[in-house]
Amino acid sequence: MTVVGLLTLLAACSAVLGSPVPSEGFDNGTIAKVQANLATIATHSWEIGTELETLTELEWPQLSVFHGTVPPPAQLPTPDTAADVISKATASSIVHNITNFAGPAPLIDGDGAVGDPASLGVAVLLANWTRTDLNDTRLANAAEDQLAYLLNVAPRTPDGAISHRISEVQLWADFVYMAPPFIAYYGAIAGGEYGASLFAAAYEQCKLYRQYLSDGSGLWRHIVLGSWQDNNHWGTGNGWAAAGMLRVFETIARSGHAWKFAAELANLAIWIDEILTHSWAFQHENGTLYNWIDQDAPATFTDSSSTALLGAVSFRLATITANSVHVPSANRALEVIKQSVDEDGWLLNTVDPETFNTTSLPGQYSPEGQAFVLLLHSAWRDFEASRKI
Ligand SMILES: *[C@@H]1O[C@H](CO)[C@@H](O)[C@H](O)[C@H]1NC(C)=O
Ligand SMILES: *[C@@H]1O[C@H](CO)[C@@H](O)[C@H](O)[C@H]1NC(C)=O
Ligand SMILES: *[C@@H]1O[C@H](CO)[C@@H](O)[C@H](O)[C@H]1NC(C)=O
Ligand SMILES: *[C@@H]1O[C@H](CO)[C@@H](O)[C@H](O)[C@H]1NC(C)=O
Ligand SMILES: *[C@@H]1O[C@H](CO)[C@@H](O)[C@H](O)[C@H]1NC(C)=O
Ligand SMILES: *[C@@H]1O[C@H](CO)[C@@H](O)[C@H](O)[C@H]1NC(C)=O
């Protein structure tokens, strides 16, 4: 048998072993409804930023950080490629300050958050990078101001962790999905020594956030420092952290600098795996996680949002590392999420993303939960495609 033949056989065996339950994805009609509903309820900065990342992974995977090189070729294959992402990222109603920039400032109002407006930054950078009018520097200026705000203006801990809040130094797990992927993507486009310094900065934030928020349990607390804390192991917070570190990993790994960051990439993979291992240890019979991962009813309740996001991260990590250890859990998560989307395309059984500790009220839905369904679908699709190579 040839080496290639042997590798193919081994890959086939590990794929079979890795997923005892063959899973079917969502049907396209459901995905279309989930996507349309997301667009109607994503209004806050972090919801729109997450929506744009989601649309990129779902519809324009070649432009996401999970395919090809980062950044992608500057010339889009057709004029309508990523048109929805670009028009949303550049709408004056979203990037308010795009025309009247005045030094370091967030892209958009963030309801008091430092990190959240930066979640729009990757889409703004992509729009700048692929634009056809090379004289138009408004997007680049807006992104530059956002970066300068994060790095030079926002409050920090003495050891350098950038605060998630403007009014006081307070660290939220959410930050890891909102800001470090933008800092890293900025670095990938800048290239050279400056780009490498931004990779180092993105990595440093992940490392510092883990030092502050991980408490020895293998899971991350939600909020530390400042005038109040949330020491619970919030499912969505752990999902934000793992998914944010994953995007930083892929941005660096697919840039021209991966070889300089081997140790950092290895650590990021370990930290992502750590969250997955300790989350799925608490996975319930039907595949769900609870909102506070390691607590039980009645103190907490079933939460589909975090189940979907951590499922997405599991499929992605398996695709990257060819290690399928979390795939059975991800398949079970996929099954319960399929059962949790109603016929109108709304994800049910979500935590209220603004209280963190109550369920969404009847008739109210979670914008980030809608996005997580699409991230799960995209990650599952790409994992399945990678197994067929
Ligand atoms: C679902 O959508 C994908 C991507 O657009 C397409 O490749 C696939 O053929 C569609 N599946 C069905 C059953 O229509
Ligand atoms: C625009 O930026 C300024 C600071 O330069 C800020 O005070 C203002 O809130 C921003 N506007 C919006 C809509 O975000
Ligand atoms: C904007 O895109 C141009 C390429 O057209 C690139 O040279 C520049 O670095 C980009 N700016 C930022 C801030 O990424
Ligand atoms: C870009 O700027 C240059 C120099 O200012 C000018 O000659 C050229 O016409 C501009 N191009 C476009 C497309 O506006
Ligand atoms: C899954 O099980 C939990 C109890 O562990 C329950 O609260 C939840 O409703 C179930 N989800 C579905 C979709 O059946
Ligand atoms: C949720 O958290 C808020 C703020 O910490 C607290 O006031 C409230 O009692 C909590 N509610 C539940 C149901 O635990």
Q: For ligand 2, is residue 148 a contact (CB within 6 Å)? A: no
Count of CA atoms in the C-beta half-sphere (13 A) of 56: 26
Q: Report how far apart, in Å, the C-alpha atoms of 54 and of each of 51, 121, 217 are.
A: 5, 14, 30
Instruction: Report residues whose beta carbon is within 6 angstroms of any ligand 4 atom.
Output: 133, 135
For 55, the token pair is 């649309």
Indicate whether residue 109 lines ligand 2 (CB < 6 A): yes
Domain made up of 3-387: CATH architecture: Alpha/alpha barrel (1.50)
Per the listing, tokens 């926002």 go with: 154
- Among the listed residues 317, 224, 304, 305, the one whose alpha carbon sits nearest the alpha carbon of residue 276: 317
Judged against a pLDDT cut of 80, whether residue 10 lies above it is answered with no
Q: Which residues contact 297 (CB under 8 A, 6 or more apart)?
A: 290
Which of 349, 350, 351, 360 for a ligand 5 pocket mutation test, highest count of atoms within 8 Å of Cβ? 349
Give residue 105's pLDDT: 85
CA-nearest residue for atom 5, ligand 4, is: 135
Return the pLDDT at 387.
Answer: 87
Alpha-carbon distance of 348 to 355, in angstroms, equals: 16
Please, which pLDDT band fits residue 7 given cuts at 50, 70 and 90? very low
- Probe residue for ligand 4, chosen from 132, 134, 135, 138 as the CB with the greatest number of ligand atoms within 8 Å: 135
Distance CA 309, CA 290 (A): 13
* Mean pLDDT, rounded, for 14-21: 45
**Ligand 2: which atom is nearest the Cα of residue 145?**
5
User: Which pLDDT tens digit goes with each residue over 66-99?
Assistant: 999 999 999 999 999 999 999 999 886 666 555 5
Average pLDDT, the chain: 92
- Pick the atom of ligand 5 nearest to 286's CA: 1
- Using the atom order of ligand 5, give the atom closest to the CA of residue 336: 13
Question: ∠ CA(198), CA(204), CA(206), 5° rounding?
Answer: 110
**How many Å lie between the centroid of ligand 1 and the Cα of residue 86?**
23
Kindly state the tokens that stand for 112: 């008091």
**Per-residue b or e along 285-314, where b marks 16 or more CB atoms closer than 10 Å to that residue's CB:** eebbbbbbbbeeeeebbbbbbbbbbbbbbb
User: Residue 357: CB within 6 Å of ligand 6?
Assistant: yes
Residue spans of the domains in the chain: they are: 3-387
Is residue 101 classed exposed, middle or buried when 0-12, 13-18 and 19+ CB atoms within 10 A define those classes?
middle
Q: How confident is the model at residue 20 (pLDDT cuts 50, 70, 90)?
A: very low
Cis peptide before 71 (omega within 30 of 0): yes
The pLDDT assigned to 214 comes to 98
Answer yes or no: is the C-beta of 45 below 6 A from any ligand 2 atom.
no
pLDDT at residue 100, as a whole number: 54
What pLDDT score does 138 carry? 86
pLDDT at residue number 99: 52
Q: What is the pLDDT of residues 97-126, one digit of tens each?
A: 555 556 788 888 888 999 999 999 999 999
pTM: 0.92
Nearest Cα to Cα of residue 313 among 275, 351, 265? 275
Answer whether 323's CB lies under 8 Å from 330's CB.
Answer: no
Paired strand residues for 162? 156
Q: Report the nearest atom of ligand 3 relative to the CA of 134.
A: 5
Q: Which of 18-27, 50-59, 254-263, 360-369 has the lowest mean pLDDT?
A: 18-27
| Residue 43 phi, psi dihedral angles, 5° rounding | -130, -35
Cα(132) to ligand 4 centroid in Å equals 12
Rounded Cα distance, 49 and 38, in Å: 12
Nearest ligand to the C-alpha atom of residue 73: 3
Q: Is 111 in the pocket of ligand 2 (CB under 6 A)?
A: no
| DSSP per-residue string spanning 68-132 | SSSS--SS-SSTTTTHHHHHHHH-TTTSGGGSS--SS--SS--TTBSSGGGGGHHHHHHHHHH-S
Q: How far is the CA of 150 from the centre of ligand 4 (A)?
A: 32
- 113-170 pLDDT, tens digit per residue, is 999 999 999 999 999 999 999 998 889 988 999 999 999 999 999 999 999 999 999 9
Main-chain phi, psi angles of 361, to 5 degrees: -70, 155
Residue 215 has pLDDT above 60, yes or no: yes
